[in-house]
Amino acid sequence: MYKVGDAATLLGVSPDTVRRWVDSGRLASQQTTSSRRRLIDGQELARFAETLAAAPNAATVASESTRNRLTGIVTKVVRDKVMAQVEIQAGPYRMVSLISREAADELGLAPGVSVVAAVKATNVTVELPSSP
């Protein structure tokens, strides 16, 4: 279960946006009886995050380089005997990681689990769009 603020961080939006989605029925939540806090089920949040996934428009990026640690939520895990394919939604970005099944099992990876994707690459391209 995720608090509204935590869900907002994982989705890359403000807590107010998450509250509006809950109020409009776009995102399901449960309310605690004691503190009246809204809580969002991790698997529901993972499904919702997938609906938000869209490739960013490169033309709208201006003078920015993405950092290499992105907080996200697991949306899908496909395991075989040796490897696991893990899909992560980090704000508007969808990432796919191939890791050992053993690692995926030890980490307890499943849809709805909050993770940090640490990206290490030998080649990273940084681009600036042309002016309109």
So what's the pLDDT on residue 105?
95
Four-residue CA torsion sign, 18, 24, 29, 35: positive
So what's the pLDDT on residue 58?
47
So what's the pLDDT on residue 113?
92
By the 8 A CB rule, do 3 and 39 touch?
A: yes
- Sequence ranges of the domains in the chain: 2-54, 67-118
According to the CATH classification, is domain 67-118 in 3.40.1280.10? no
Q: How far is CA 62 from CA 30, 66, 126, 129, 131, in A?
A: 39, 11, 11, 7, 10
So what's the pLDDT on residue 59?
52
Q: How far is CA 71 from CA 12, 32, 51, in A?
A: 9, 26, 18
Amino acid letter for position 88: I
So what's the pLDDT on residue 62?
53
Q: CATH number for the 2-54 domain, one of 1.10.1660.10, 1.20.1580.10, 3.40.50.10860, 3.20.20.100?
A: 1.10.1660.10
**84 — phi, psi (to 5°)?**
-135, 135
Show the low-confidence residues of the chain (pLDDT under 70). 53-67, 122-124, 131-132
By the 8 A CB rule, do 71 and 90 touch?
A: yes
Q: How many CA atoms lie within 13 A of 33 on its CB side?
A: 0
